[in-house]
């Protein structure tokens, strides 16, 4: 069994964190943008809007604000402009941990995880994290967005708020063009979808690989044996359940579709400039507390020097949830206690900047289906050289076959009443009765604590609802689950703070504070029990399940908790929440217009503004938020 265990661990690692051996593709036919600027002498002195960060949100908003030519936009991106097909190549999913297009950041040691430190993965390139992500195209349920609106309305209904499901759905449609699966794969594996939840005007595409493993069908079917599991008509329906979802892929080219291909490449507009390899060091805020431009390090020949560019209308922060709070803090907008330590003058004491940090923790649970003989499977691809050689040839010649799959296209997204009919009510009650202050750092500002309490009360309600997904499990089509189970609504909150001993020269200090709220551990333990039941108490039982991880001997609460502490990853690379859209009295950093409290002419538009994570990978939500942000900004112009 030793070897088999090794293969499974390897397979899980490969499937959930794919290392790609990307074949290089010619970039023929692509327009070379005339406004790619790599020399600061070409940057004008002033623009209407200066956008910090040429990532997922930044490029989306830059495109929208400049499209009718009435306003000028400059995007400043710290990363390079990769000329490599490694970014667009669908084969193998994201570029792997060795990709040069990541920041190199390690979290602080996590005391609840044996003091282990974890890599903080965020993209560093034109396109940001959308250039390196795993391309899963999913959104949360309606309740995830209604909760955002609710937090502004004293717990009342968030449905009708501008950021509730009804308010965001048009922007989900605007953000991504849906393309239907081809008949070869739709009929073979019975992909269900409903295009009415999608739009068809965006230049960012969601498509379907031309190949799916036939073994998916029995694994989907087995969920019908689990009470309460629903099968929504589409991944975009805003409902929890087991469903198919597309991939951020342009199906005509079988290439990654991301912020750069959708909102920059091929656009030839004098109203839209972008400079790359240029790092913004701080926002310039005048005595009237108005943001008037940014200071950035610009590449000049082989050196860098500081430059200033003026923003006539607004500075827009889109540096992602790790670097946006750092930039606010460096600009004098943040918790005064922190800024004092770093020797930075406080312009606006905003205690929420960098707090409320959230990511999706992942827990490996590996159960083999020993008698599962539906071929081909991902396991065949990894263990059968002939098959992988064939797959490579088909891919090289035709861009079809198993290598056209970036990640699997079906998963379960389930609420706590489904996962844990027995214990979810007691977990919800415990959450309501908790002394919430005990699970934040002792020096937490009262407004940040109030925001945490409001979130925990809202999430207690969500624990009782089957339409807020807490658990996800991807399905592989092989004899083991494809990836990890993911905690979609963690109760623990971390922080992103500038490094007070080297504020301007070092990366921010990232602390997940994983499992700092002990109820996360109780919820994850329910995931282990549910995943076991799904394998042993359904039609999958006939395939002779064998538990590799945590292992059949791990049954007591104590042993399961010990396994979780040993093997949890605190991140699925979905950092968010660090410049939360919440009332200021709840530790908020931006209002419902995404304007930073206390400063004029400054907004945040990236993953930092999400007050609570959606129960889904975050990219599609970031695009929708950015599309809505563009309309809010235009309405103010």
Ligand X SMILES: *[C@@H]1O[C@H](CO)[C@@H](O)[C@H](O)[C@H]1NC(C)=O
Ligand Y SMILES: Cc1cc2nc3c(=O)[nH]c(=O)nc-3n(C[C@H](O)[C@H](O)[C@H](O)COP(=O)(O)OP(=O)(O)OC[C@H]3O[C@@H](n4cnc5c(N)ncnc54)[C@H](O)[C@@H]3O)c2cc1C
Q: Which stretch binds ligand Y (CB under 6 A): 19-27, 132-140, 261-269, 438-446?
A: 132-140
280 annotated among ligand-binding-site residues? yes
Residue 114 interacts with ligand X (CB under 6 A): yes or no: yes
Residues 621, 610 contacting (CB under 8 angstroms)? yes
What secondary structure, in 3-state letters, does 61-74 show?
Answer: HHHHHHCCCCCCEE
Q: What share of the chain is helix, strand, coil (3-state, %, to 5)?
A: 35, 20, 45
Choice from 12, 86, 121, 510 touching ligand Y (CB under 6 A):
121
Cβ neighbours of residue 326 under 8 Å, at least 6 residues apart?
Answer: 319, 354, 496, 498, 507, 508
54-83: contacts with ligand Y (CB under 6 A): 54-57, 76-79
Contact (Cβ atoms closer than 8 angstroms) between residue 193 and residue 234: yes
532 near ligand X (CB under 6 A): yes
Query: How near is the Cβ of 345 to ligand X at its closest, in Å?
Result: 8
Which of 525, 533, 418 has its CA nearest to residue 466? 418
How far from 619 is each of 273, 379, 518, 613, 615, CA to CA, in Å? 24, 28, 28, 11, 12
Burial class (CB in 10 A: 0-12, 13-18, 19+), 384: middle
Binding of ligand Y by 130 (CB under 6 A): yes
According to the binding rule CB under 6 A, does residue 382 interact with ligand X? no
Among residues 116, 394, 449, 554, which is the contact residue for ligand X, using CB under 6 A? 394
Site string for ligand X, 20-59 (x = CB under 6 A): -----------x--x---xx--------------------
Nearer to ligand X, 280 or 609 (CB): 280
One of 24, 98, 104, 301 touching ligand X (CB under 6 A): 301
Task: Tell me: does residue 430 bind ligand X (CB under 6 A).
Answer: no
Whole-number Å distance between alpha carbons of 491 and 455: 9
Tokens of 588: 């908020």
DSSP annotation string for 35-65: TEE-SGGGS-SEEEEEEE--SHHHHHHHHHH
| CA angle (601, 604, 608) in 5-degree steps | 160
Which is closer to ligand Y, CB of 130 or CB of 444? 130
Q: How far apart are the first and last CA of the chain?
A: 66
Structure tokens at 596: 């930073």
User: Looking only at residues 201 through 220 of this chain, which bind ligand Y when binding is defined by CB under 6 A?
Assistant: none
Nearest Cα to Cα of residue 137 among 172, 186, 111: 172
- Within 274-335, residue ranges assigned H as helices are 320-330
Options 11, 50, 52, 524; binder of ligand Y; rule CB under 6 A: 52
Q: Does residue 129 bind ligand Y (CB under 6 A)?
A: yes
**430 sits near ligand Y (criterion: CB under 6 A):** no
Q: How far is the CB of 184 from ligand Y (least distance, A)?
A: 24
Binding mask 225-264 for ligand Y (x = CB under 6 A): ----------------------------------------
123 binds, among ligand X, ligand Y, none (CB under 5 to 8 A by kind): ligand Y
Question: Do residues 358 and 367 lie in contact, with contact meaning Cβ atoms separated by under 8 Å?
Answer: no
Query: Is residue 339 within the footprint of ligand Y (CB under 6 A)?
Result: no
Q: Which of 33, 239, 535, 574 binds ligand Y (CB under 6 A)?
A: 574
Q: By CB under 6 A, what part of segment 532-561 binds ligand Y?
A: none
- Alpha-carbon span 280 to 75, nearest angstrom: 10
Please, which residue, 306 or 585, has the CB nearer to ligand X? 306
Task: Check if the beta carbon of residue 255 is closer than 8 Å to that of residue 261.
Answer: yes
Name the residues that contact ligand Y, by CB under 6 A: 52-57, 76-79, 94, 121-124, 128-130, 132-136, 279-280, 318-321, 323, 327, 573-574, 606-607, 617-620, 622
Give the residue numbers of the binding site for FAD.
280
Name the residues that contact ligand X, by CB under 6 A: 31, 34, 38-39, 108, 111, 114-115, 184, 200, 210, 268, 281-282, 284, 295, 299, 301-303, 330, 344, 371, 384-386, 394, 397-398, 400, 499, 501-502, 506, 509, 532-533, 536-537, 542, 544
């Amino acid at each position: 069994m030793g070897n088999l265990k090794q293969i499974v661990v390897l397979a899980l690692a490969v499937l959930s964190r794919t290392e790609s051996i990307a074949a290089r593709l010619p970039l023929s036919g692509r327009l070379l943008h005339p406004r790619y600027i790599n020399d600061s002498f070409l940057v004008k002195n002033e623009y209407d809007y200066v956008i910090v960060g040429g990532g997922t949100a930044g490029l989306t908003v830059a495109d929208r604000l400049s499209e009718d030519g009435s306003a000028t936009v400059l995007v400043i991106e710290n990363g390079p402009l990769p000329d490599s097909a490694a970014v667009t190549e669908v084969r193998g999913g994201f570029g792997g941990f060795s990709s040069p297009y990541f920041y190199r950041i390690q979290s602080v040691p996590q005391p609840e995880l044996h003091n282990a430190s974890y890599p903080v993965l965020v993209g560093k390139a034109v396109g940001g994290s959308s250039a390196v992500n795993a391309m899963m195209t999913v959104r949360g349920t309606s309740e995830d967005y209604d909760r955002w609106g609710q937090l502004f309305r004293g717990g009342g209904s968030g449905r009708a708020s501008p950021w509730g499901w009804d308010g965001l759905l048009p922007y989900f449609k605007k953000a991504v063009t849906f393309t239907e699966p081809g008949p070869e794969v739709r009929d073979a594996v019975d992909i269900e979808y409903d295009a009415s939840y999608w739009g068809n005007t965006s230049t960012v595409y969601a498509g379907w690989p031309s190949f799916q493993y036939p073994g998916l069908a029995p694994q989907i079917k087995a969920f019908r044996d689990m009470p309460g599991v629903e099968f929504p008509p589409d991944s975009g329906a805003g409902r929890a359940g087991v469903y198919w979802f597309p991939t951020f892929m342009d199906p005509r080219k079988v290439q990654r579709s991301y912020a750069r291909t959708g909102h920059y490449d091929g656009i030839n507009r004098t109203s839209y400039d972008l400079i790359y390899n240029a790092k913004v060091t701080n926002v310039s805020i005048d005595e009237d507390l108005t943001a008037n431009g940014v200071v950035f390090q610009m590449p000049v020949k082989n050196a860098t020097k500081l430059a200033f560019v003026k923003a006539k209308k607004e500075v827009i922060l889109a540096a992602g949830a790790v670097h946006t709070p750092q930039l606010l803090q460096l600009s004098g907008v943040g918790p005064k206690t922190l800024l004092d330590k770093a020797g930075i003058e406080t312009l606006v004491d905003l205690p929420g900047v960098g707090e409320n940090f959230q990511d999706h923790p992942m827990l490996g649970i590996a159960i083999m289906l020993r008698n599962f003989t539906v071929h081909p499977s991902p396991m065949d691809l990894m263990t059968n050289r002939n098959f992988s050689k064939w797959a490579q040839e088909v891919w090289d010649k035709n861009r079809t076959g198993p290598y056209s799959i970036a990640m699997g296209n079906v998963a379960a997204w389930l609420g706590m009443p489904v996962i844990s009919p027995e214990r979810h009510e007691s977990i919800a009650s415990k959450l309501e009765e908790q002394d919430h202050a005990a699970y934040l750092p002792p020096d937490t500002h009262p407004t940040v604590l109030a925001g945490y309490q409001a979130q925990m009360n809202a999430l207690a309600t969500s624990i009782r609802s089957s339409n807020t997904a807490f658990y996800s499990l991807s399905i592989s089509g092989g004899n083991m689950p494809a990836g990890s189970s993911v905690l979609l609504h963690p109760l623990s909150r971390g922080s992103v703070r500038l490094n007070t001993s080297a504020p301007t020269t070092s990366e921010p200090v990232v602390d997940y504070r994983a499992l700092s709220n002990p109820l996360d551990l109780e919820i994850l333990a329910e995931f282990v029990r549910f995943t076991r039941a799904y394998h042993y108490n359904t039609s999958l039982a006939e395939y002779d399940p064998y538990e590799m991880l945590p292992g059949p001997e791990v049954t007591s609460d104590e042993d399961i908790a010990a396994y979780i502490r040993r093997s949890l990853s605190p991140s699925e690379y979905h950092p968010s929440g660090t410049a939360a859209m919440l009332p200021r009295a709840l530790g908020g950093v931006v209002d419902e217009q995404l304007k930073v409290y206390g400063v004029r002419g400054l907004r945040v538009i990236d993953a930092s503004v999400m007050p609570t994570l959606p129960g889904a990978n975050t990219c599609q939500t970031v695009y929708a938020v950015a599309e809505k942000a563009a309309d809010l900004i235009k309405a103010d112009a």
